[in-house]
Structure 1
């Protein structure tokens, strides 16, 4: 079997830092995550592949062995690996745990999992398991888990916090949003505060299995109408060419849901930015940033006879 180079899989150099590797993994995982590519087997295989690569390159001991001895990790006798025993790096799929994690966080197809499937099952390394791990999230002591499942009267014991991601729209992040997630068969309600930023962390203390915490990273989805930068928002509004030339009003919708008139000065050109103060993102200390409106000049695709006549007159004046 021909193995792919893990550095090539993540698109990083062999001298990449831990931060570079983590950043590359997060970008690729976001692109190929099964939640965004339902029914796409190639995307699922790619997601599995980058997970395998990250599990090795993010672990200093495994990366050291991989760099020296390649994909198979066959270590000569007596070589000090710092505790890692080597072995074939390939074959990572996590299928033996997939049903467990889906049950833990609720399947997207079940009711009560919340919109967008509740917490995405993008779980991370499982320290102490001796396996490749699941990059980026729920951490469980595998020995305790298997021990709990193996004997009558024994119960599963989770000794670490559970992590996941919760996706919200830009509008939900702006206004705040009430969400319901499913953790280990238990429905949990939570409030995403108004003005939440991408990457913000929410903690549900004591709500995880065995009294652990549920740690959620908020992922704010991109919006086709608004772009957020700092405390300011930017939107684009279409302006008919005659209005741009002579001046006039156009309607502008804000993320808050209100619609108002914006006065366009005569002689405005396409790409010009105009500012609406206080119509941007909520600030921590109170108030809002600004909303910038970028003008997009438009011309009609079809013209009436009268419009053609007027445009011809205008063209003749400029010739």
Structure 2
């Protein structure tokens, strides 16, 4: 039995009203409910603690005894709080029917979180979702492509049609859980239900199991799937193929297959959303005199006019030469071209002579050419 202070467990003061206590319980019960925290033992323990605390503090007489004697008031089974089912308590507060480990939380889970959990009493269970990944180039992301993936998943047994039973045999109610799909164990104030280890939550066992699938109703196979990758996908995007995950158990629906898209880094372009970025190195003569240069795109080269006197790090925008928009047809991002200026490290005597004359014309007679004229030119440009 937990010895934590019940008021501390619910996060309320000792003079909290009945309304405050109920409000605190509702918040914490939703937060730590096992259906919302599957496999989280810490959350399950907190759910039990919250339930035990609320079972006592919601009742005026039990609360009076607790305030007077603390946990000793309920030792030895002297209180009706002993063995309370936290799921029944949850149903009483939130409403909703159902039985089994879901404790009526399935419909409530949908109301609060937009998703449902299957009750352990259902014989058919949904198959697991699976994940795979595909690597593509930036060009393929721009044009769209069909790719084939290979993966393993469970499919319905073709011998027993997914029933798990050999021909002519029947399912019988599980003797361990009595067909509920869960077994209960008492821990202190409360009783907690767990998936039945005999029937794995289905509530039934098979007298004469199928020899091909050993009574599971499913078989694991290697499979392939052609995936249509739309134009405009980005690195990290995920596609979903409904019903291509694991087959359901005993007639339950199949899970889904999620395919993660990995776009390889490009040697020429960088991507930001639908826009592309490219760094273009041009001769310093073109930067000074101006002219036209060819710029690569994902399809073909296009002409870009470089104005005379263009400085290094100047960026030009070429409209609609980026990536296609994934959701809007005929809409494209832009291509941004950042200019860097190439200064030659070696010159012929004739080239050097002409540049010296150019420097003099520009009034740069004070440049110390012995220190490296081209280094000075780099500073100027």
Normalised TM-score (structure 2): 0.41
Normalised TM-score (structure 1): 0.49
Which structure has the larger Rg over C-alpha atoms? 2
